[in-house]
Amino acid sequence: MIRIISGRYKGQKLQNIKSKDIRPTQARVKKSMLEILEPFNNKHVLDLFSGSGSLGIESLSRGANYIISIDNDRKNFNNIKNNFKKICFNDNYEIYCMDAINFLETSKQKFDIILSDPPYYKYDHMEIFKKSQPIIKKGGMFCMEMEKNLVDENIFRVKIYGESQVILWRNNE
């Protein structure tokens, strides 16, 4: 069972679908990642490859003003909707059942934080990063959990957690 680990929804349980395509972020990785990205107050957050919606709900729990959650799997999408309705029904959020890359290519909105947790080995981190860059506000952050792999540390800050790693980038332009 996945739980919200901090903020006003701390301790709330999320439903998760058992699937080979869903790999929930480990609690210690999620905790560390979100602490690096704080504060969330009044931020607009995009959660790509949402799975259970955990990262988006965690962001709202910590004070984010607005969340968009994206997942292209219909079962995940319905589960995410149920988790948001159950836990944060009064918050400002949107959930879309669509391809994350397509969303990045067509979005006119800009975000303070983009969270990306795609299925391992299915997407190239640089493709997601490059397509995210135009919609990250100045001072905003890109954060992606991925399989442990070599990345350009001149571009990304890298945090390693066993076989996983989190890459982070701040838009200083």
User: Tell me: the pLDDT tens digits for 81-135?
Assistant: 999 999 998 899 999 999 999 999 999 999 999 999 998 778 899 999 999 999 9
Q: 164-170 and 136-147 as β-strands: parallel, antiparallel, unpaired?
A: antiparallel
Residue 55 near residue 32 (C-beta atoms within 8 A)? no
CATH number of the CATH domain containing 139: 3.40.50.150
3-state class (DSSP) for residue 64: coil
The residue range of the domain holding 37 is 2-18+26-170
- Give the pLDDT band of residue 51 (cuts 50, 70, 90): confident
Weakest mean pLDDT among 19-23, 68-72, 105-109, 159-163: 19-23
Q: Where are the alpha helices (DSSP H) in the chain?
A: 27-37, 54-61, 74-88, 100-106, 125-132
49: amino acid identity, one letter: F
Within the chain, strands assigned E span 2-3, 13-14, 44-48, 66-71, 93-97, 111-116, 136-147, 157-161, 164-170
3-state class (DSSP) for residue 72: coil
Q: 93-97 and 66-71 as β-strands: parallel, antiparallel, unpaired?
A: parallel
Residue with tokens 């990642």: 33
pTM of the full structure: 0.93
CA angle 168, 172, 173 (to 5 degrees): 130
Mean pLDDT of the chain: 91
Strand partners, 2: 14
Count of structural domains, the chain: 1
